[in-house]
Structure 1
Amino acid sequence: MSPNKAFLRTSIIIEVQKPKEFKQQLLGWSEQFREALFLDSNYYRQNYTSFDAILAVDAFTSIQTDEHNAFEDLKQYQQTTKDWLFGYLSYDLKNDTEDLISDNFDGLHFPDLFFFQPKKLFFLKGNQLEICYLNMCDDEIEEDLEAINKQVTPVNAEQKLKIQQRISEQSYLQKISEMQQHIHRGDIYEANFCMEFFAENATINPIATYKSLNKISEPPFAVFFKNNKQYLLSASPERYLRKEKDKIISQPIKGTAKRHPDFQQDEAIKQRLLSNEKERSENIMIVDLVRNDLSRTAAKNSVEVEELCGAYTFKQVHHLISTVVSKADKEKSAVEIIKTTFPMGSMTGAPKISAMKIIEGLEETKRGLYSGAVGYFTPENDFDFNVVIRSILYNQQNGYVSFSVGSAITALSVAEKEYEECLLKAKAMREVLES
């Protein structure tokens, strides 16, 4: 890794004997810091994965802001530091790119954007660990490794929260009916409608809760994130956007089917998902939207669909995932590429702006970090971000715990089935919090 002129880092590579155990020790060690971001691929083998796990801790510098002018502020910060940056973009940054508002209830009160430049970085791949510290603290590497190796793996979460549902089943069915009226009128083709589950006056153990959630799903884009007293515990299966030199990769998920314990029946379910007209049409609509978004920063004729509606298997569900790629125009900055595709189409709908306006009118909770993105920028202007779904959000200060779920509504949607899909997606988070 070549150090940049602005912030020199010391980089050493060591062998780790038990990488799975070491990951858990890294995670446990991270919580002492005010800022921590742990990313875990759970050894899910797919294209475009750089590391098995990354940990970034202890901010040297940071940026925290509301939606106003957020992308420009982030661009300035990223171009000034020219270093590794880790953080998140909340869904409500849509208001910075379009004439939109977010007036729904917010129990979490997270900033709309937060990124930090970590003093200490760890990259794990196989048995190889790269440790990358800012020079100002590189004399702490040995001492930190000793402390990490002494970490005891935390126990599983034991908590019994009373989870409430923001939108009742009856109200949900009514709202889907209203959304489909918009579809029949031609206002939109598809929209992702979400609802919140929450608990008040709650106390949870963030690391133990994350571990329990991750164990249920073992997804490729798991996240433990801490910004002082604000936590994201995510079991996301979905990549939002990745940049590798001039190649941009988007991998939207649309189309879901429940797993079956019997292998043959499970395979039959997967095949039915592959040929399901409604699920495929959901995915294809979003692929068209992503192609259009990427074309705004792409070199001419470089947008391609590498894979359309591939069926992928996770611990709890099968998903249809498409991969859309482009070659970035050399004149476009990393932040501009994100700005012109944000929020991701899989969490909005098509046409995008109309869908976001209708969503805002029908949903009852400000999405905030849910359906936003978490990830990192490299010193070389590359980046990788997930989609924040299957995630628990926790404000320790006011004792508010929240998770939201959603599904894509089209003309072919049956409201009762969409409701069942939402409950299926909520199952893991609910199980962890009500255990």
Structure 2
Amino acid sequence: MNCTPIDILKQKTLQWASNFDVYCCLDSNNYKDIYSNYDCLVAIGAKQELTTNYGNAFADLKSFYEDHKDWMFGLLSYELKNELEDLITNHSDKLDFPDLYFFIPEYIIALQNDNIHILKGDSSIIEEIKKVNLDSKFVELEVKVQSRFDKKSYIETVENLQTHIKRGNIYEVNFCQEFFAENAIINPLAVYQELNSLSPTPFAGFFKIQDKYILSATPERFLCKRDNRLISQPIKGTAKRSANKVEDEQIKINLKSSIKEQAENVMIVDLVRNDLTKSAVKGSVKVDELFGIYTFPQVHQMISTISCELDPTVHFIDAIKNTFPMGSMTGAPKIKAMKLIDTYEKSKRGAFSGSFGCISPNGDFDFNVIIRTILYNETQKYLSFQVGGAITYAANAEEEYEECLLKASAIMRVLGQ
């Protein structure tokens, strides 16, 4: 891979940041996005922190913002669902991420159009960063990945979930399986950079919270706010790419016209529209794009865009709360789907299928969806990633299993599996 001067500066920034206990990188990988203000943001060092578990987490976050009205970067774990609804997860958790974590950084470095900007902190750190010598040594991975499901048990579980669909209990459920490694020894930053090189995506990121790491190649935006407008871009619909250009183009056409994929997508679009109405000016919710096809290194994806005008009487933190967790990772109806997820999945999701991102001083924000992501607890030496898909009446269990392996392929390659 040929690195541009800005790529090298990005790598040096992350290596310099690794001396801190807390830092977060949000990287668009230069995908064009009308809603993004910067190509890459790196927030380094924690001046203030908020760490809490579900109960009053969103109220605590609102108070934290109102007390400081500063840049803040953070994590919203999927387990916050237990605060919002009468839900509980009994699965064990060896990753031990907090349900909600936010920090106000000492430094914020922004990269935009091959230029570097210091949004927070002393500009002299640019010279420090430029002097960093990049690590060139290869770090041997010690990772043996296992799965919580074999193919037979996965297919049986999908068929059990389809029984609930046939009974009318749900229309769609996002069912996920965990791949994990115990006694795993990795260099988190090196693994992230390899993953980001192999699978660059528009909402990628790296998040270090003391001994816990999020290494993300996610293509999905959960929710962002620009002025008084909220925008959500759920993904539902996946197709494997081909090295043959003509065949690859036909795959895109087939995905765009697939009745099955459209049905999965529109169910989540309707769910997101419903979630946004809780925070919207009446009549302002609209679908800006339905069934858009977007191309990434391993897959084509079907992405829709839904937006609304934020009701001025609704605090923006409440707008996040009203849409969380994102419908693309639950199913519909949302509460029943989440109950079935807790019943049929074998792992606690924790940070997976939650979100991380940033809030600016004026209350604008942007949060991704934590998918295509490695989670790592360095102290416990436990590594985990989960993959899943939408299970509907028309879903084929064996094809869903193969789609999971496709979504896991980039991570598997990076981990040497």
TM-score (norm 2): 0.97
Q: Which residue of 2 aligns with 1:128?
A: 115
Q: Among 373, 376, 393, which residue is 2:355 paired with?
A: 373
Q: Which residue of 2 aligns with 1:53?
A: 40
Residue pairs, 1:10-49, within 5 angstroms: 18-49=5-36
In 2, Cα distance between equivalents of 1:46 and 1:223: 16
Q: Which residue of 2 aligns with 1:254?
A: 236
1:407 to 2:389 alignment: yes
Q: What is the total number of aligned residue pairs between the two structures? A: 413
Cα distance, 1:157 vs structure 2: 5.2
Q: Among 133, 136, 146, which residue is 2:127 paired with?
A: 146
Cα distance, 1:350 vs structure 2: 0.3
1:82 to 2:64 alignment: no
Residue pairs, 1:337-376, within 5 angstroms: 337-376=319-358
Q: Among 167, 179, 204, which residue is 2:161 paired with?
A: 179
In 2, Cα distance between equivalents of 1:159 and 1:245: 44
Q: Which residue of 1 aligns with 2:93?
A: 106
Q: Which amino acid aligns with 1:394?
A: Y
Are 2:6 and 2:114, in contact at CA under 8 Å, matched by a contact in 1?
Answer: yes
Helix, strand or coil at the partner of 2:280: coil
Q: Which residue of 1 aligns with 2:377?
A: 395
Give 4+ residue runs of structure 1 displaced > 6 Å after superposition: none
1:417 to 2:411 alignment: no
Cα distance, 1:24 vs structure 2: 1.3
In 2, Cα distance between equivalents of 1:34 and 1:260: 41
Cα distance, 1:160 vs structure 2: 4.2
Q: Which residue of 1 aligns with 2:312?
A: 330
Helix, strand or coil at the partner of 2:266: helix
Are 1:394 and 1:402, in contact at CA under 8 Å, matched by a contact in 2?
Answer: yes
Are 1:26 and 1:148, in contact at CA under 8 Å, matched by a contact in 2?
Answer: yes
In 1, Cα distance between equivalents of 2:53 and 2:152: 34
Q: Which residue of 2 aligns with 1:275?
A: 257
Are 1:221 and 1:236, in contact at CA under 8 Å, matched by a contact in 2?
Answer: yes
Are 1:157 and 1:432, in contact at CA under 8 Å, matched by a contact in 2?
Answer: no
Are 1:56 and 1:120, in contact at CA under 8 Å, matched by a contact in 2?
Answer: yes
Of stretches 297-306 and 19-28 in structure 1, the one that deviates more from structure 2 is 19-28
Of stretches 155-164 and 340-349 in structure 1, the one that deviates more from structure 2 is 155-164
Are 2:207 and 2:215, in contact at CA under 8 Å, matched by a contact in 1?
Answer: yes
Q: Which residue of 2 aligns with 1:189?
A: 171
Helix, strand or coil at the partner of 1:340: helix
Are 2:142 and 2:186, in contact at CA under 8 Å, matched by a contact in 1?
Answer: no
Q: Which residue of 1 aligns with 2:51?
A: 64
In 1, Cα distance between equivalents of 2:139 and 2:207: 17
Residue pairs, 1:205-354, within 5 angstroms: 205-354=187-336
In 2, Cα distance between equivalents of 1:127 and 1:221: 18
Q: How much is the aligned-residue C-alpha RMSD, in angstroms?
A: 1.1
Are 1:163 and 1:434, in contact at CA under 8 Å, matched by a contact in 2?
Answer: no
In 1, Cα distance between equivalents of 2:306 and 2:319: 14
Q: Please, which runs of 5 or more residues in structure 2 have no aligned partner?
A: none
Q: Please, which runs of 5 or more residues in structure 1 have no aligned partner?
A: 1-16
Q: Which residue of 1 aligns with 2:180?
A: 198
Cα distance, 1:119 vs structure 2: 1.0
Map Cα deviations across residues 36-95 of structure 1 (whole Å, 9 max, x no partner).
001110001132121110000110000001111111111111111100000110001001
TM-score (norm 1): 0.93
Cα distance, 1:103 vs structure 2: 1.0
Map Cα deviations across residues 139-173 of structure 1 (whole Å, 9 max, x no partner).
xx31x222210223334653141100011111111
In 2, Cα distance between equivalents of 1:176 and 1:222: 29
Cα distance, 1:133 vs structure 2: 2.7
Helix, strand or coil at the partner of 2:134: coil
